[in-house]
Amino acid sequence: MGNVESSCYENHLSRFLPEEKTDIDGVFDTLSGLDGSGGVKTGKATRKAVTLAMLKAHVQEALPEQMTVRLYNGMKSVDLTGNSPGSSEQIVKEQFIIFMSTLLKGNVEEKSGIIMRMISNTEGPVKGKQIQEFTEGLITSVVHVLSCRNLLRGWNLENTQDPASGVKVLASQLLSELKLEDGKNLAGPPLMDAMCDQSTIEKWVFQVPQIPAFLNVIIRQGLLVLHSLPDHAEDLVNLVPKCKEIKERGFVSVLDIPSIIYINSQLPSELQHKWRLLFSSRVHGESFSQLCGHIINKGPCILVLKDLDGYIFGGFASQSWDVKPQFQGDNRCFLFSVSPSLMVHTDTGYNDHYMYLNHGQQTIPNGLGMGGQHDYFGLWIDSNYGKGHSRAKPRCTTYNSPQLSANENFTLDAIEVWAVGDLPKSAGIKAQKSILDADPEAHALLEMTGKSRQSDGLREQVEDDDD
């Protein structure tokens, strides 16, 4: 290499700590073959080099083959000599290190250049259809490699939905941020034939942090490089929450892995490390009292509904649910849809009608709601279990969400509630209360008539929240 190229390489190399350099050197030696089978002749000497076949042999089943080819094209695009990138079919160590430095530690401008060549290995702008294929392949590869390396943290492909549909809806969501220079959105059919240059890709990668985050996981876990360092372990904790309390054999969530990853990314960072199943209508029964008994005073949680038309949607409650006639929660709450499209709808500031839960009253609505107002909630589950509504035409005032269900009035197929983050300290005490404890008058009436409180049977022992 000349002085300029050598200086560029040294700058990239300096981004890595000594232990990181040692790890990268070891992986490259493994890739290139210590027997000297891989190499590029430079004068009389032979430098170690990596071919596509060697990369595939190293990765094996950890990544889909197409993603391995994209990684190889990204490495090959690193220009060391001033010649046309990709002129050699072998990757030398400098290219390997610059590729790692760029995608793992570089800025958005640097990353976008290599991502362009991973999308298409030909020079110039890339087509929208190629970007879509790359994005879907990226999400597929993340799920694949995390499953292969046993890093789904309690989730698996058996206790969640088939990820194929989740891959497409998450890709569609990420691609909705892709815009041309004039600000025109390229989501949907207009995306397919659009031509996007590097500046467009650069803005997209800047707007969508999932793209570099997914590449980080694929490189580290797919190639087993820098994968055991503390910073990567922390990244994985925030990417995939630990799944707890799935004890029922045969339980299958209504969510898929891509949707879980995306919803988790929208939560406050301190809540992203753990999900705990509180309630499933398929496990605990189709009862509003059972629902309340399992979710009251359990801290922030995610409510997921599926209607009989197959639409999946829900909301994030930022505070513990409590039975009372007033609205509760704060502006961290949001509503979301998972199917047929993946979207998150956040606070508008118009009102504070974030969360509502009431039961056993005659003059005000009884049920669970989020956003909007009485009888016009963005999401509503009636205390007469099985019915609900999403009356948000044109938009919910609290979250600016559209109608989330297939029909304004819907019939429930399933409900799941997941506590997120650590169990609140107060849960061990207050979780022993019945939902009727919140209504002394109802309690007194039951005692006067000589009837027992059926909800007493819903009291549960709170387990230790250890990892």
Phi-psi region of 153 (alpha: psi -120 to 50; beta: other; left: phi over 0): left
Q: H/E element holding 412? A: strand 409-420
- Binned at pLDDT 50, 70 and 90, residue 235 comes out as confident
Amino acid identity of residue 46, one-letter, is T
Question: What mean pLDDT comes out for the span 341-364?
Answer: 92
pLDDT at site 37: 54
Q: H/E element holding 177? A: none
Instruction: Provide the token pair at 175.
Output: 């691609």
Relative to beta strand 387-389, strand 45-47 is unpaired
pLDDT at site 465: 54
Instruction: Provide the token pair at 169.
Output: 């809806």
pLDDT at site 44: 46
Question: What mean pLDDT comes out for the span 46-74?
Answer: 94
**Each residue's pLDDT tens digit, 405-418:** 999 999 999 999 99
Measured in residues, the chain has a length of: 467
| Alpha carbons 367 and 381: distance in angstroms, whole number | 6
**Each residue's pLDDT tens digit, 414-449:** 999 999 999 887 765 554 554 445 454 444 334 333
The pTM is what? Answer: 0.86
Of 294, 288, 285, the C-alpha closest to 321 is 294
pLDDT at site 431: 45
Question: What mean pLDDT comes out for the span 206-213?
Answer: 94
| Alpha carbons 274 and 260: distance in angstroms, whole number | 11
Question: What mean pLDDT comes out for the span 75-102?
Answer: 84
Average confidence score pLDDT of the chain: 86
DSSP state of 399: T
| Alpha carbons 424 and 192: distance in angstroms, whole number | 48
Give the CA-trace dihedral at 312, 317, 321, 327, to 10 degrees. Answer: -100
Q: Is the pLDDT of residue 305 over 90?
A: yes
Question: What mean pLDDT comes out for the span 158-164?
Answer: 93
**Each residue's pLDDT tens digit, 354-378:** 999 998 877 788 999 999 999 899 9
pLDDT at site 40: 55
Q: Which residue has the tokens 């088939």?
A: 162
pLDDT at site 290: 94
DSSP state of 273: T
